[in-house]
Amino acid sequence: MAEAQNTPVGSTTAGAIAVAAESTVATRMSAPPSFDVADFPVPHGREEEWRFTPLERLRGLHDGTAVATGDSLKVAVEAPEGVTVELVGRDDARLGRAGTPVDRVAAQAYSAFEQAGVVTVPKETVLTEPIRISVHGQGGVAFGHQVIELGAFAEAVVVIDHTGDVVTAANVEYVLGDGAKLTVVSVQDWDDKAVHVAQHNALVGRDASFKSVVVTFGGDVVRLHPRVSYAGTGGEAELYGLYFTDAGQHQEHRLLVDHNTPHCKSNVAYKGALQGEDAHAVWIGDVLIEAKAEGTDTYEMNRNLVLTDGARVDSVPNLEIETGEIVGAGHASATGRFDDEQLFYLMARGIPQHEARRLVVRGFFAELVQQIGVADIEERLLAKIEEELEASVA
């Protein structure tokens, strides 16, 4: 890759394709998955799953010192007719089906939340308007749990907006019935001090399609862990991500696609732009093709564009293959920088400096934004990218 020749100082791009009899994705974790926070030791920062994360900035989410305060998060759900929106207790049987917490903070969230939100789209219900969930931080600490379930052949778009200031840990579950189609856009547009750690678990039914779009702009620390597994053959998952990491921000996206079922597809594409001193983006892309997952087709890609000195990217794709009977598997990772020579080239064609920067960043994200397939979201994202750029140029 041409871009890779231009890796900025301090950034790492490492990848591995392993052919193994047994998964090392699981054994790399310090403890097996569990709903109970007590099953995880307090991380010290050298564990594989924590080594990129500034623990001291998690404000106690990882060591039990963060305690929920009242009214920290205001959650509002706006749903079209036919959709059921509920708040349920911890013992509700619909919780915890799509996945189990894999690290201490996710387990902490599961152990500490009081009520969970459950949004249900009944079978064969095709929504024409999105479900909008607004999550607004009002200071303090909050633990959350959210389930979004689509019955068989239901179709829905869900937009989750995160704004305001809070220290929060949460688990989000997406349960897709057979043939269901779900697009989820999760926008992290937090204020500068917010800390947001969440595990997203998607369980994709037979012949179902799951599309996740994760957009991270704000926050002091955002660490998201989108995970996908399949409940039946023919499932498809598209995981798209876009982040714009500014000075001092830590934005970490750790993905896992577990091909645990034959004849399923996955496509992962994350792109990030970074600018400013100590902007730090981390991308971990794990894809596991289990021995029984014949006919798997998967590709994962991460691209980073470093706009200024002082920013750092760690990008680690891992592809683990336990069967050779697959359609395709691949990964790519590259980190390039927008450097003085590129700037000179564009300016030598009459293009002013701020316009040159915008041109490059817009172009970099445009292709990915077009994958979202929800027009008003696409426009909003492009506008938001412009806004980030304006703020940086000023």
Map residues 229-268 to x or -, x wherever contact with other proteins holds by CB under 8 A: ----------------------------------------
Q: Which of 2, 21, 93, 375 binds other proteins (CB under 8 A)?
A: 2
**353 is a contact residue toward other proteins (CB under 8 A):** yes
Smallest gap from Cβ 311 to other proteins, in A, equals: 16
Gap between the Cα atoms of 296 and 276, Å rounded:
40
Token pair of 84, please? 């059921």
Smallest gap from Cβ 363 to other proteins, in A, equals: 4
Of 28 and 345, CB closest to other proteins: 345
Token pair of 393, please? 């140029």
Task: Report which secondary-structure segment, H or E, holds 386.
Answer: helix 375-393
Smallest gap from Cβ 356 to other proteins, in A, equals: 8
Gap between the Cα atoms of 391 and 394, Å rounded:
5
Smallest gap from Cβ 392 to other proteins, in A, equals: 17
Query: Among residues 257, 320, 260, which one has the least CA distance to residue 294?
Result: 260
Query: Among residues 354, 340, 253, 256, which one has the least CA distance to residue 304?
Result: 253
Smallest gap from Cβ 136 to other proteins, in A, equals: 33
Of 355 and 386, CB closest to other proteins: 355
Count of CB atoms within 10 A of residue 385's CB? 22
Map residues 302-341 to x or -, x wherever contact with other proteins holds by CB under 8 A: ---x------------------------------x---xx
Token pair of 174, please? 């997406």
Residue 127 half-sphere exposure, CB side, CA atoms within 13 Å? 26
Of 42 and 366, CB closest to other proteins: 366
Residue 365 half-sphere exposure, CB side, CA atoms within 13 Å? 28
Smallest gap from Cβ 109 to other proteins, in A, equals: 36
Of 20 and 344, CB closest to other proteins: 344
Task: Report which secondary-structure segment, H or E, holds 392.
Answer: helix 375-393
Of 18 and 344, CB closest to other proteins: 344
Token pair of 370, please? 């077009």
Gap between the Cα atoms of 348 and 340, Å rounded:
12
Smallest gap from Cβ 3 to other proteins, in A, equals: 6
In this structure, are residues 187 and 215 in contact, taking their beta carbons and an 8 Å threshold? yes
Of 45 and 352, CB closest to other proteins: 352
Residues in contact with other proteins, counted by CB under 8 A, come to a total of: 26
Smallest gap from Cβ 345 to other proteins, in A, equals: 5
- The DSSP code sequence of 240-276 is EEEEEE-TT-EEEEEEEEEE-SSS-EEEEEEEEEE-S
| Residue ranges that bind other proteins, judged by CB under 8 A | 2-3, 305, 336, 340-342, 344-353, 355, 359-366
